[in-house]
């Protein structure tokens, strides 16, 4: 859809972008919030350049609201910042809004631009081009490797349960590390002809997978320790904060300049109390939002400090005296 361009090329234009894997849909609004035009660009540097060229025919670009800056919009957000544009991270429309307005790419782009103009979207996206981005990539791969290794261990035990009696008697009761080492040394026939040979072949295969994944995880841990120690040496120097815990907090926060206060970090991690008052009752509840990995990391730090950190222990004692209780799962 193309509407007449602005008569004043110096007028400010707000852009909203609905991002996808192969194309992005862009909507341009004038300062009064009126739709000027929409445009479709490919997700390539040439497409990003075409976006700015198109927008310049409508006026001077003020800000660009981009959906999915951590996924499909990451490349566009990086390119725009590198070319001097102000980029704002926009949440995808909620279900209630979509039920009222319908779902279409141009509508989503229009909503993104309106969110920027209304001040509903103010978050600075992560730069995704420094050490924190390197840590994020390695943690992502490590998490999948750990999950796959757990699956391999479970499968090894499942195979052992149904293995022939002689083989089962040889391996049952062994600790996991010893079970893996023993299964990896099994020597079945190259062409299994009996259930025992087939079981040996399967056990050795899964054990080899577990060992390979362990080697991969160890290598990733080495790189993560180096990167985290360089990116946040003061954080990992704190007692009770390990590499994985620090990495989770760094990835959640992204660039330090994105967070303007401790409160912003608390909301990001889902640990800021949420008002839940009504009538004469004034109270707060726990947040169920925020980055759950960062929330878990803070929980582990707090639990650890409750065991040895005097100020934390004093705080817990004072709050318990005031009537606060532990979560049911912890008190059980």
pLDDT band at 9 (very low <50, low <70, confident <90, very high): low
The reply to whether 123 falls in a domain is no
Q: Are residues 195 and 139 in the same domain?
A: yes
Residue 254: which of 225, 236, 272, 232 has the closest Cα?
Answer: 232
Q: For residue 20, give the 3-state DSSP assignment.
A: coil
**CB-CB contact of 15 with 65 (8 Å):** yes
The reply to whether 125 falls in a domain is no
Q: Which two tokens stand for residue 119?
A: 């001040």
What is the bridge-based pairing of β-strands 274-275 and 35-42? Answer: unpaired
Whether the predicted pLDDT of 36 surpasses 90: yes
What are the helix (H) ranges across 89-130?
Answer: 95-101, 105-118
The domain boundary residue, chosen from 118, 148, 173? 118
> pLDDT tens digit string along 57-79?
999 999 999 998 989 999 999 99
The domain boundary residue, chosen from 63, 89, 118? 118
Q: Are residues 137 and 114 in the same domain?
A: no
pLDDT band at 331 (very low <50, low <70, confident <90, very high): very low
Percent of the chain beyond pLDDT 70? Answer: 92
> pLDDT tens digit string along 282-314?
888 888 888 999 999 999 999 999 999 999 999
The residues facing 29 across adjacent strands are 14, 35
Say which DSSP state 256 is in. G
- For the ranges 96-110, 225-239, 294-308, the lowest mean pLDDT is seen at 96-110
How many structural domains comprise the chain? 3
Q: Are residues 65 and 163 in the same domain?
A: no
Q: Are residues 34 and 98 in the same domain?
A: yes
Q: Are residues 114 and 18 in the same domain?
A: yes
- The C-alpha angle 230, 231, 233, rounded to 5 degrees, equals 65
Q: Are residues 136 and 105 in the same domain?
A: no
The residues facing 39 across adjacent strands are 26
Q: For residue 13, give the 3-state DSSP assignment.
A: strand
The domain boundary residue, chosen from 118, 140, 155? 118
Q: Are residues 228 and 195 in the same domain?
A: yes
What is the bridge-based pairing of β-strands 23-29 and 35-42? Answer: antiparallel
> pLDDT tens digit string along 156-193?
999 999 999 999 999 999 999 999 999 999 998 888 88
Cα–Cα distance measured from residue 131 to residue 152, given in angstroms and rounded to the nearest whole number: 31
Q: Which two tokens stand for residue 186?
A: 């099994």
CATH number at residue 70: 3.30.420.40
Residue 114: which of 210, 14, 194 has the closest Cα?
Answer: 14
pLDDT band at 7 (very low <50, low <70, confident <90, very high): very low
> DSSP string covering 141-176, please?
HHHHHHHHHHHHHHHHHHHHHTS-HHHHHHHTT--H
The reply to whether 167 falls in a domain is yes
What's the pLDDT score for residue 332?
37
Question: Where would I find the beta strands (DSSP E) of the chain?
Answer: 12-19, 23-29, 35-42, 60-67, 87-90, 274-275, 284-285
The reply to whether 299 falls in a domain is yes
Whether the predicted pLDDT of 329 surpasses 90: no
Q: Are residues 225 and 151 in the same domain?
A: yes
The reply to whether 43 falls in a domain is yes
The reply to whether 16 falls in a domain is yes
Cα–Cα distance measured from residue 300 to residue 64, given in angstroms and rounded to the nearest whole number: 38
**CB-CB contact of 243 with 225 (8 Å):** yes
Q: Are residues 26 and 53 in the same domain?
A: yes
What's the pLDDT score for residue 231?
93
Q: Are residues 199 and 149 in the same domain?
A: yes
The reply to whether 102 falls in a domain is yes
Q: Which domain holds residue 22?
A: 12-118
The reply to whether 246 falls in a domain is no
Question: What is the rounded average pLDDT of the residues 80-96?
Answer: 85
Q: Are residues 52 and 138 in the same domain?
A: no
Q: Are residues 61 and 110 in the same domain?
A: yes
């Amino acid at each position: 859809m193309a509407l007449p361009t602005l008569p004043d090329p110096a007028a400010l234009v707000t852009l909203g972008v609905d991002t996808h894997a192969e194309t992005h849909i862009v909507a341009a609004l004038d300062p009064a919030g009126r739709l000027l035009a929409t445009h479709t660009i490919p997700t390539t540097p040439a497409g990003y350049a075409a976006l700015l060229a198109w927008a310049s025919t409508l006026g001077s670009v003020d800000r660009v609201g981009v959906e999915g800056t951590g996924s499909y919009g990451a490349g566009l957000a990086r390119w725009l910042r590198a070319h001097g544009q102000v980029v704002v991270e926009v949440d995808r429309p909620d279900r209630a809004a979509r039920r009222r307005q319908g779902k279409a790419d141009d509508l989503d782009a229009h909503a993104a631009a309106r969110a920027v103009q209304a001040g509903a979207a103010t978050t600075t996206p992560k730069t995704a081009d420094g050490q924190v981005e390197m840590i994020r990539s390695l943690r992502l791969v490590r998490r999948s490797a750990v999950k796959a290794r757990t699956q391999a261990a479970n499968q090894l035990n499942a195979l052992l349960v149904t293995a022939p009696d002689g083989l089962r008697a040889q391996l049952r009761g062994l600790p996991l590390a010893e079970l893996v080492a023993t299964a990896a040394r099994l020597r079945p026939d190259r062409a299994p002809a009996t259930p025992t040979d087939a079981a040996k072949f399967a056990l050795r295969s899964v054990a080899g997978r577990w060992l390979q994944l362990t080697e991969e995880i160890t290598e990733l841990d080495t790189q993560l320790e180096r990167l985290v120690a360089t990116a946040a040496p003061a954080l990992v120097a704190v007692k009770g904060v390990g590499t994985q815990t620090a990495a989770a907090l760094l990835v959640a926060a992204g660039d330090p300049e994105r967070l303007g206060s401790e409160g912003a970090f608390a909301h990001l991690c889902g640990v800021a109390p949420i008002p839940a008052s009504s009538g004469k009752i004034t109270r707060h509840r726990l947040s169920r939002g925020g980055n759950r990995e960062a929330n878990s990391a803070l929980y582990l730090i707090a639990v650890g400090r409750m065991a040895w950190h005097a100020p934390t222990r004093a705080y817990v004692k004072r709050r318990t005296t005031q009537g606060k209780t532990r979560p049911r799962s912890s008190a059980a």
